[in-house]
A and B are shown apart, each in its own frame.
Chain A
């Protein structure tokens, strides 16, 4: 199982999105391996590139935040890697509907895999975000105690945080709490302050990983559902997919909500996924001044409760609910769920309820009945499962990817020498950082950055065009919204959607199958 060599790219080549072309030299390759060229790294439909049964060193199945992070980690090595995804875009499952928080891991169960990976992931992603232009705001969290039982629990939570390596938490009294959060509802008795808990843009993170992976040679195969795996003891896996067959020397299951079903394709039955739905409400930007920290509930016998948190986009989130379901596609909201959230929110920040709701959504977390991740290497099958990533996958993603490299090594993967990844710089979607509509220089260079197409979110024509022309363009208006915020504001696209649709169609025609 010797990894075949591919010449590491030169720095000059990696600095450009068109870089991979420069790699097509005389380096020895396996017979099947024509080097992917820029523009062909992402494919959404039709027969798979490379012909039937194309062989990859590693196939990562599932392009959520975790799968994309794993693909990006693998892209550092001279390996042929495919990232395979059933949906038509990255981050279409749990990764697109979460609380958008970069956790420190202070409240994880000490000693678990999750505790270690969230803690390491927080550090790694904080650094990566700065480098890649992903907005992060380290506003810190306050675990607010609303009764004596909760207040009595705070020292224990501080001690748990310390066992998780977080020594900077501090218990504050009601007076200090009120100074730090003047709009908090009456009756708060105190709080545990947790510095380091941060707001992050989850979509930019997933996209940055995927873009960097793709620019560094990973093939992203979208709209490609794996339907079967032929048992071939000792030989590479033969996968049948909705877009044709492909072959994998090593296989990674990063299927999130569907991880147990993918395991079953290989006859592995370790755990069952129970989708746990979380409904959330997003409040309009005037609400942002009401909330300064991530306001977390004190976990108790009645469950984890709901949080109130700002977002990097300048909104305020209220949620999530926690409902165990059977249906892995039940991402609708319910009247009871939304009413319950409003009831809780009215206690935490009463003035929040007077603001307009801009969005209501629901995400599904992949609960497996154990308060830890379910990661396993199966050297006999050259197969790694990354399961049970319930709600901290975004925070842990970069550390999880490194962990998976270790598991693949246990399975026998030899990666070859490390090389630099193609750089990535994401367009900023965060209100705390400069955005094009306020950037005189950007507008001077291209007046399209002075044409606001989505007035609610101040998204410019220049940003929309850039997203449509990017290495990983959106498949539809939902993907465009996650890339630019266009249509994500208070009118939910009522104003700009027709124009955005026209722009997308114009680009779709011009850009062929991309």
Chain B
């Protein structure tokens, strides 16, 4: 794992090292510390622990025990407090820069360089939205293009003021965060010229979008224009017609990519179709003792879901620490077929577990099948459409009876038309 001998690097060790103090990492740390896993340490590169919710000043993060609605920062503070009260150590302003050994990570902090060894490592580094160039969006490179994440950070740092964002925005993407972006822009006094999202209107509109926002469904932004500052975007609809929408700001919503630098640097096997680590249902990666949870596996998702997975990964870590099941990941490979772009987890073992899948393109009435070696294990028409940014969860019943000695399990979606599923 790319060891780099270096002098002046303070060596120390802990029992469990969690990378990333977002909802998944903090929940994992809280449960591990409470379960007596020994010294549990969470490393966070930001000056404040809490992860993405810190920048989401809106309700939708559940409620506290007295029933008061929580916003993102409130949720984040509670998560940090829970981990610390359970006995975990949360260290902020610490950047993990690489691996010094199979279970040892290199860190940079104002206090100096360190090599931190652990009996188990949980990667909970989250995800980011793809940038303009990562989406291969051609045209002008003028300022005025930002992701929802950057929009939220800008508003957190400078306040909701149009001079730091723009006057007239287009939001691109059907991900739920597109709706958050629209509300944030309006709160900042920025007019929203259009929300552009792929897929039919019924399936595509981001949930909870204000009714008066123009939605260009079944359309994509294909080119940017403007010198000195963005002044418009070209939008192409399903029939290939193009139009120009005037705007000085483009918010790119969704299109998540895992923050997988450590996964790559450590040479961990990758999940097919995605860029996160390959894990089994117990969230073990291909390297014994290294686990993964949260957005790193699936992209942006509700904090509560990431936290639930953080608690789940804690159980797998405890199984390793007490020698019951040291890993690494195992099980039958699960692969995507047809219009399915990606499936999580990538390995079916050790216990039957739910599957999460993502469609490659919008499907109105999909028929879903799970098969192995050409044999259909289960097949059904879904009651709902599929869109690329809304993952679908399948219960463990879908994958209960594959041949353990057989080939990969294939999860496939097809356009169903009106046939019998």
Residues of chain A at the chain B interface (Cβ within 8 Å):
281-282, 285-286, 329, 331-335, 337-338, 342, 356-362, 437-438, 440-441, 443-444, 447-448, 450-452, 455-456, 458, 460, 490-495, 497-499, 501-502
- The A-contacting residues of B in range 341-361, CB under 8 angstroms, are none
Q: Please, how many angstroms separate the alpha-carbon atoms of A493 and B109 in the complex? A: 21
Q: Does B111 contact A (CB under 8 A)?
A: yes
Say whether B108 contacts A458, CB under 8 Å: yes
Cβ-Cβ contact count across A and B, 8 Å cutoff? 120
Q: Does B45 contact A (CB under 8 A)?
A: yes
Say whether A334 contacts B138, CB under 8 Å: yes
Say whether A458 contacts B146, CB under 8 Å: no
Give 28 pairs: A residue, B residue, CB < 8 Å, sorted on A.
A286-B264, A333-B138, A335-B138, A338-B138, A359-B133, A360-B132, A360-B141, A361-B141, A438-B108, A443-B110, A443-B112, A443-B113, A447-B110, A447-B111, A450-B112, A450-B113, A451-B109, A452-B45, A452-B97, A455-B95, A490-B261, A491-B131, A493-B150, A494-B146, A494-B150, A498-B154, A501-B158, A501-B164
Q: Please, how many angstroms separate the alpha-carbon atoms of A332 and B137 in the complex? A: 11
Q: Of the candidates B133, B158, B164, which one forms a contact with A358 in the assembled complex, judged by CB atoms under 8 Å apart?
A: B133
Q: Using Cβ atoms and an 8 Å threshold, which residues of chain A touch B109?
A: 450-451
Q: Does B284 contact A (CB under 8 A)?
A: no
- Residue-wise, chain B 132-156 has the 8 Å CB interface mask toward A (1 for contact) of 1110101111000011011001101
Task: Determine how close the nearest CB of chain B comes to the CB of A318; give it in whole angstroms.
Answer: 12
**B-side binding surface: helix, strand, loop or mixed?**
mixed
Q: Using Cβ atoms and an 8 Å threshold, which residues of chain A touch B133?
A: 281-282, 357-360, 492
Q: Does B8 contact A (CB under 8 A)?
A: yes
Say whether B6 contacts A438, CB under 8 Å: yes
Say whether B7 contacts A440, CB under 8 Å: yes
Say whether A440 contacts B131, CB under 8 Å: no
Q: Using Cβ atoms and an 8 Å threshold, which residues of chain A touch B68?
A: none
- Residue-wise, chain B 118-141 has the 8 Å CB interface mask toward A (1 for contact) of 000000000011111110101111
Q: Please, how many angstroms separate the alpha-carbon atoms of A490 and B261 in the complex? A: 10
Q: Does B375 contact A (CB under 8 A)?
A: no
Say whether B8 contacts A494, CB under 8 Å: no
Q: Of the candidates B108, B134, B261, which one forms a contact with A452 in the assembled complex, judged by CB atoms under 8 Å apart?
A: B108
Q: Of the candidates A335, A440, A497, which one forms a contact with B222 in the assembled complex, judged by CB atoms under 8 Å apart?
A: A335
Say whether A437 contacts B97, CB under 8 Å: yes
Say whether A495 contacts B128, CB under 8 Å: yes
Q: Using Cβ atoms and an 8 Å threshold, which residues of chain B touch A338?
A: 136, 138
Say whether B138 contacts A450, CB under 8 Å: no
Chain A residue with Cβ nearest B6: A438
Residues of chain B at the chain A interface (Cβ within 8 Å):
6-9, 45, 93, 95, 97, 108-113, 128-134, 136, 138-141, 146-147, 149-150, 153-154, 156-158, 164, 222-224, 227, 257, 261, 264, 275
Task: Determine how close the nearest CB of chain A comes to the CB of B143; give it in whole angstroms.
Answer: 8
Say whether B108 contacts A334, CB under 8 Å: no
Say whether B108 contacts A443, CB under 8 Å: yes
Chain A residue with Cβ nearest B223: A335
Chain B residue with Cβ nearest A448: B110
Q: Of the candidates B128, B136, B223, B264, which one forms a contact with A494 in the assembled complex, judged by CB atoms under 8 Å apart?
A: B128
Q: Using Cβ atoms and an 8 Å threshold, which residues of chain B touch A342?
A: 136
Q: Please, how many angstroms separate the alpha-carbon atoms of A359 and B135 in the complex? A: 10
Q: Using Cβ atoms and an 8 Å threshold, which residues of chain B touch A493?
A: 150
Q: Using Cβ atoms and an 8 Å threshold, which residues of chain B touch A335?
A: 138, 222-223
Q: Using Cβ atoms and an 8 Å threshold, which residues of chain A touch B132?
A: 360, 492
Q: Using Cβ atoms and an 8 Å threshold, which residues of chain B touch A456?
A: 261
Task: Determine how close the nearest CB of chain B comes to the CB of A444; give it in whole angstroms.
Answer: 7
Q: Using Cβ atoms and an 8 Å threshold, which residues of chain A touch B154?
A: 497-498
Q: Of the candidates A282, A491, A497, A502, which one forms a contact with B128 in the assembled complex, judged by CB atoms under 8 Å apart?
A: A491
Q: Given A491-B131, A492-B132, do A450 and B111 touch, yes or no (CB 8 Å)?
A: yes
Q: Using Cβ atoms and an 8 Å threshold, which residues of chain B touch A333?
A: 138-139, 141
Task: Determine how close the nearest CB of chain A comes to the CB of B151; give it in whole angstroms.
Answer: 9
Q: Using Cβ atoms and an 8 Å threshold, which residues of chain A touch B130?
A: 356
Q: Please, how many angstroms separate the alpha-carbon atoms of A357 and B140 in the complex? A: 17
Chain B residue with Cβ nearest A359: B133
Task: Determine how close the nearest CB of chain B comes to the CB of A226; give it in whole angstroms.
Answer: 21
Q: Please, how many angstroms separate the alpha-carbon atoms of A451 and B97 in the complex? A: 12
Interface centre among B108, B139, B227, B275 (most CB of A within 10 A): B108
Q: Please, how many angstroms separate the alpha-carbon atoms of A403 and B364 in the complex? A: 68
Say whether A451 contacts B93, CB under 8 Å: yes
Q: Please, how many angstroms separate the alpha-carbon atoms of A159 and B154 in the complex? A: 57
Q: Given A440-B7, A440-B112, A452-B108, do A331 and B264 touch, yes or no (CB 8 Å)?
A: no
- Known: A357-B134, A447-B110, A497-B153; 6 extra A-B contacts, CB below 8 A, are A334-B138, A358-B134, A441-B8, A447-B111, A455-B95, A458-B95
Q: Using Cβ atoms and an 8 Å threshold, which residues of chain B touch A492?
A: 131-134
Q: Please, how many angstroms separate the alpha-carbon atoms of A357 and B139 in the complex? A: 16
